């Protein structure tokens, strides 16, 4: 089940590398169209670069995908991200109506897709995307560990 998401996760890892170059936490994300292969939007953390506290990889990728589609509803789309989404990003995933979120490394301190919280699958919400976790988990965790070790 994880194999089909590896190519997209590698694209997200490349985005994460761009975040690190800008001094941001190395997290990258891509939004795939309903065909599961077309990249509609991509992003990496840009909080330091832009001074915008909402400039998380997931939010930027969702914004760019919505712009590409000309619609805020990302029904049928998949968000692939190197780190488990935080509560803000999990809320954005629910609001955007993506069908699925695929992530690499767990975030036991701030994750909101199953580890600390489970916002994306909260039964009280009107939309609950499928969650696929652990895709290239070690490769996704490595740049994060190196980034924070250097701080």
pLDDT digits (tens, 9 = 90+) for 121-151: 999 998 999 999 999 999 999 999 999 987 7
Please name each of the domains of the chain with its CATH number: 5-143 (3.40.140.10)
Assess whether 130 carries a catalytic annotation.
no
Rounded Cα–Cα distance for residues 11 and 17 (Å): 10
Would the pLDDT of 2 be above 70? no
Residue 52, Cα to own-chain centre: how many angstroms? 17
Which pLDDT does position 52 carry in this prediction? Answer: 97
Mean of pLDDT over the chain:
95
User: Distance between the two ends of the chain, CA-based, in angstroms?
Assistant: 36
Does 140 belong to an annotated binding site?
no
Does 86 belong to an annotated binding site?
yes
With beta carbons less than 8 A apart as the criterion, state whether 79 and 102 touch: yes
pTM for the whole thing? 0.96
Of 15, 58, 71, 133, the active-site residue reads 58
């Amino acid at each position: 089940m994880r194999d089909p998401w590896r190519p997209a996760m590698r694209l997200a890892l490349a985005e994460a590398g761009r975040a690190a170059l800008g001094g941001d936490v190395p997290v990258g994300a891509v939004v795939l169209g309903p065909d599961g292969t077309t990249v509609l939007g991509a992003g990496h953390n840009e909080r330091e670069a832009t001074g915008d506290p909402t400039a998380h990889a997931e939010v930027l990728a969702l914004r760019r995908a919505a712009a590409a589609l000309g619609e805020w509803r990302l029904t049928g789309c998949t968000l692939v991200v190197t780190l488990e989404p935080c509560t803000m990003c999990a809320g954005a995933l629910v609001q955007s109506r993506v069908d699925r979120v695929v992530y690499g490394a767990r975030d036991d301190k701030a994750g909101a897709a199953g580890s600390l919280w489970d916002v994306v699958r909260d039964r009280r919400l009107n939309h609950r995307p499928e969650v696929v976790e652990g895709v290239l988990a070690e490769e996704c965790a490595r740049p994060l560990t190196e980034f924070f070790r250097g701080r």
